[in-house]
Amino acid sequence: MTFPESGEVRTLISREQIAARVTELGQRISEEYAGRSLVLVSILKGSFVFVADLARAIDLPVRVEFLGVRSYGANTKSSGVVEITQDLTRPIEGDDVLVVEDIVDTGLTLTYIQGLLSGRKAASVKVCALLHKPSRSRVPVTIDYLGFTVEDVFIVGYGLDYAERYRNLPMLAELATGD
């Protein structure tokens, strides 16, 4: 699949592989949170597709909240500065919270989010990430539920973007950006 205006994409993880892994994650989360309600905090914009599929794979009462953050802008590398672009609509004090992230690379954004949510007195804060790029880690982070570990390439699709494009691809793909 080629997008002439922005480069070429190459499939890394198929739609079917994603669906199977999301089902596995949902089953594990359902077992570990059995008898409890759970707040899924989707980190916008990249995790919106993942959280929709994950929420349907979890067999528990869940509430979904959205937290908008930005650290990339229109670039392919994180700026290291986290900006809140949209806050939660309801308090999470006393709730079990599962942060749903599209990709963890440097760990800086996730560390910031975990501190923010813990400071709001959540009963627990755990992390579910679709992707992890360990080669780019700058701070140690714990990912409690992980979809896939990937190499240090720029990934788009399944909610992940490059300059707000490619989110609608049904698979995860490497984007040749020329960077």
Q: Residue 172: pLDDT above 80?
A: yes
CA-based radius of gyration for the chain: 16
Please confirm, yes or no, whether 161 is among the known catalytic residues.
no
Say how many Å lie between the first and final Cα of the chain, rounded.
Answer: 20
Q: Which residues contact 169 (CB under 8 A, 6 or more apart)?
A: 1, 9, 156, 157, 158
pLDDT digits (tens, 9 = 90+) for 77-97: 555 678 899 999 999 999 999
Residue appearing with tokens 């008898």: 35
pLDDT of residue 83: 84
Q: Residue 6: pLDDT above 90?
A: no
Q: Which of 53, 95, 102, 105 is catalytic?
A: 105
pLDDT confidence of 3, banded at 50, 70, 90?
very low
Q: Residue 2: pLDDT above 70?
A: no
Q: In terms of CATH architecture, what is 2-175?
A: 3-Layer(aba) Sandwich (3.40)
pLDDT confidence of 117, banded at 50, 70, 90?
very high
Between CA 6 and CA 3 the distance in angstroms is 6
pLDDT of residue 176: 83
Domains of the chain: which residue ranges? 2-175
